[in-house]
Structure 1
């Protein structure tokens, strides 16, 4: 990726004919971003302790809307045999327990989205290890360009890790923190930068939609955006970067950062 000092190729002007829509962010600010579609609303069952998954749901949004103490991690722990090994792969119609009483349905089984090629990121399913303190920023992404990879499009080497995912894939905060920037950044396209309690920063770039605004507080695994192909790219993907400052030029290896927090890649 490049900037004036070389992140990608020289930035291309944005198309002014793209249809835009005003979207209210988590903190009430309004951002004009490309329309990519929307899911249907979810609802509680007649039994208020049970929730039926609908289109567009994620564990983080359900936990937030239903006030689950312990957040999406507790919701996942209580419903793991229903959801399966990947907390991002929910199926429409699954019934989730909201009161911590255990599973309320039968696991849908494999939950896989099909066979992929290349190296695919995954979660550890071990219950004997310490629980991870971070999550992958996208689910099911294939690792493509890595940290410090060389190539014609990176004059100073690649500064993050790319996850090949379709446009519209949920992008999550790798760990909790405060949003310090959310908007357009030239070759990076639409991006979000989050400051974490340890003083480090994560960047999420080439987004098609931003769901947070500067100053917002986010939790580990909270949805912050949707992936896309904005800025200078050769195809849809998420560029995930870890920095020691909020600015370009202070990147560290993002896969090492994730592994240090218990996340398998």
Structure 2
């Protein structure tokens, strides 16, 4: 039994009819050129700038690139300036360090020179009476000496003449010495001893250190004497009887007597 569907305005066209109609429409448009006219602009047209913002992006892109370049140049210059300043600072520090080392070296040299000069000064010897001469020599004989001979030398000097230590040493005796009157005995730095007799006054005391040329007293006529002068002895010890030739002693230390 066959069924026949009645047509009506509400009946949907079949797939076959829809396909056939679409193909016919396309063919018609192709024949009239509408597709060619409408399709090309539709495909080629660009969206409006207001919708995409491409034109502002491109314009800003050029400005940003310039700014980036400028910033890069500024950063490069800043880096170069920082490197220059750092190099200058390093050079300044090196120069300062070099100058400081040179100053320290000069100071060390000056200290060494002063120390050498001080050692030379302390190691030198002088005459006990400036500008004087020997009036009585060593081992001179006579009844005036209890030992029978002179145990030292006499330097001509008026009473009150300055008497000097002949070298560096330490005072081991300062006071009355019997026939020597007021006398001073000094232990010299080389281990020998020197004696200064018949003094009118003393300027040092036991235990005091003395330096070459330092005034230790004044000449006089105390003790067993016939007149003012300085009795000077060189000894191997502080005791009487250990005397050695005082002229040879002074000359061995560079003193011209």
* More relative contact order, 1 or 2 (CA 8 Å, 6+ apart): 1
1:236 and 2:241 aligned: no
Cα distance in 2 for partners of 1:185, 1:175 equals 21
Unmatched 5+ residue regions in structure 1? 1-68, 75-130
How many pairs are equivalent? Answer: 140
Deviations 1:86-115 (A, max 9, x none): xxxxxxxxxxxxxxxxxxxxxxxxxxxxxx
Cα distance in 1 for partners of 2:185, 2:195 equals 4
By percentage of residues, which structure has more helix? 2
Residue 189 of structure 1: aligned partner: 181
1:205 and 2:197 aligned: yes
Residue 170 of structure 2: aligned partner: 178
Q: Does the 8 Å contact 2:185/2:238 carry over to 1?
A: yes
**Which of structures 1 and 2 has the bigger CA Rg?**
2
Where 1:136 maps in the other structure, the secondary structure is coil
Pick aligned residue for 1:141 from 132, 141, 157: 132
Where 2:136 maps in the other structure, the secondary structure is coil
Q: Does the 8 Å contact 1:140/1:165 carry over to 2?
A: no
Counterparts of 1:70-219 in structure 2, within 5 Å, are 133-156=124-147, 157-219=149-211
Where 1:144 maps in the other structure, the secondary structure is strand
Residue 249 of structure 2: aligned partner: 257
Cα distance in 1 for partners of 2:128, 2:145 equals 22
By percentage of residues, which structure has more strand? 1
- 1:161 Cα deviation from its structure 2 partner: 0.6
Q: Give the RMSD, CA atoms, in angstroms.
A: 2.0
Unmatched 5+ residue regions in structure 2? 1-115
| TM-score normalised according to structure 1 size | 0.50
Residue 52 of structure 2: aligned partner: none
Cα distance in 1 for partners of 2:193, 2:172 equals 9
Q: Does the 8 Å contact 1:138/1:170 carry over to 2?
A: yes
Deviations 1:55-105 (A, max 9, x none): xxxxxxxxxxxxxx957x98xxxxxxxxxxxxxxxxxxxxxxxxxxxxxxx
Q: Does the 8 Å contact 1:182/1:214 carry over to 2?
A: yes
| TM-score normalised according to structure 2 size | 0.52
Cα distance in 2 for partners of 1:132, 1:213 equals 21
